[in-house]
């Protein structure tokens, strides 16, 4: 598509951006701008009027030349509220559940987590935590300000518990065998802070491992998948 054919609120800026929130590097470059987009992409709204009045903000994409991280330098954390109205579940798709099964089998291959604790940061409704705890015969704790009870089986594995809050220093007292963080980093701006805290948690015990999953930015860029670019 020729850039001249794009709507006027889509532009391709250039020039430096703010320091990278992942590595702190200053060699960052802006390359895409989209104005007045919804500040959330997965919130359920009660009626059309609520949708029309939903808050919007401008988005830019910038790339860090040092670590390759893509981010929105215009991001304002005060606009974000991960409440119980947030709905990202894909677990009702057979294809997605098959993907989760394969992911879990890969994570548990040659690892014994029976009876141990699996901690998931940004657990959403708990689909992944439920499945992996059942497969591993493990205990599970999910941490997420948007988590709600009742969507999954709390007796899966050796029992599940959900904390309706953000992951913080106080959770370092937990003794997990595995720390999972799936599709959470792309919803945060201060990525470095979260990863550093998880690193600290891992170093505090023996035999722990972690699993991160994030969107493939190359696929998004190659396909022009604008629906996967959000505030």
HSE-up (13 A, CA, CB side) for residue 204? 15
Say what the pLDDT of residue 42 is: 77
Report angle CA 100, 133, 42 to the nearest 5 degrees: 50
- The pTM for the full model equals 0.86
Statement to judge: residues 131 and 186 lie in one domain: yes
pLDDT in tens, 135-165: 999 999 999 987 776 678 899 999 999 999 9
Statement to judge: residues 40 and 106 lie in one domain: no
Indicate the number of domains in the chain: 2
Say what the pLDDT of residue 10 is: 60
> Does residue 151 form part of some domain?
yes
> Does residue 231 form part of some domain?
no
Statement to judge: residues 16 and 114 lie in one domain: no
Statement to judge: residues 115 and 209 lie in one domain: yes
- Picking from 102, 134, 94, 103, the residue whose alpha carbon sits closest to that of residue 118 is 134
Residue 121's domain is classified under what CATH number? Answer: 3.40.50.150
pLDDT in tens, 114-133: 999 999 999 988 999 999 99
Q: What does the radius of gyration of the chain's CA atoms come to, in whole angstroms? A: 19
> Does residue 229 form part of some domain?
no
> Does residue 166 form part of some domain?
yes
Statement to judge: residues 107 and 185 lie in one domain: yes
Statement to judge: residues 104 and 39 lie in one domain: no
Domain boundary among 30, 49, 81: 81
The Cα 87–Cα 10 span in angstroms is: 27
Residues of the chain with pLDDT under 50: 1-3
Say what the pLDDT of residue 227 is: 81
Say what the pLDDT of residue 1 is: 38
Domain that holds residue 47: 3-81
Say what the pLDDT of residue 202 is: 96
Statement to judge: residues 104 and 153 lie in one domain: yes
Statement to judge: residues 22 and 66 lie in one domain: yes
> Does residue 201 form part of some domain?
yes
Contact of 170 with 201, CB cutoff 8 Å: no
Statement to judge: residues 76 and 156 lie in one domain: no
Statement to judge: residues 18 and 43 lie in one domain: yes
The Cα 87–Cα 202 span in angstroms is: 29
Statement to judge: residues 69 and 121 lie in one domain: no
Statement to judge: residues 57 and 141 lie in one domain: no
């Amino acid at each position: 598509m020729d850039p001249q054919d794009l709507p006027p609120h889509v532009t391709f800026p250039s020039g430096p951006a703010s320091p990278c929130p992942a590595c702190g590097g200053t060699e960052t470059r802006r390359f895409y701008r989209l104005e007045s987009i919804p500040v959330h992409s997965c919130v359920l709204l009660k009626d059309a009027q609520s949708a029309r009045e939903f808050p919007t903000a401008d988005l830019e994409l910038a790339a860090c030349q040092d670590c390759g991280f893509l981010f929105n330098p215009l991001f304002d954390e005060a606009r974000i509220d991960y409440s119980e109205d947030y709905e990202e579940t894909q677990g009702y798709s057979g294809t997605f559940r098959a993907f989760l099964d394969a992911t879990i089998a890969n994570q548990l291959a040659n690892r014994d987590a029976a009876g141990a604790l699996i901690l998931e940061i940004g657990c959403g409704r708990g689909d992944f935590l439920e499945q992996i705890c059942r497969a591993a015969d493990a205990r599970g704790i999910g941490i997420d300000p948007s988590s709600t009870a009742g969507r999954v089986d709390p007796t899966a594995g050796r029992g599940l518990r959900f904390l309706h809050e953000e992951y913080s220093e106080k959770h370092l007292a937990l003794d997990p065998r595995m720390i999972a963080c799936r599709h959470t980093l792309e919803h945060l701006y201060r990525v470095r802070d979260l990863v550093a805290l998880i690193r600290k948690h891992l170093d505090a015990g023996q035999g722990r491992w972690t699993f991160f999953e994030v969107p493939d930015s190359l696929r998004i860029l190659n396909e022009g998948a604008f629906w996967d670019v959000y505030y």
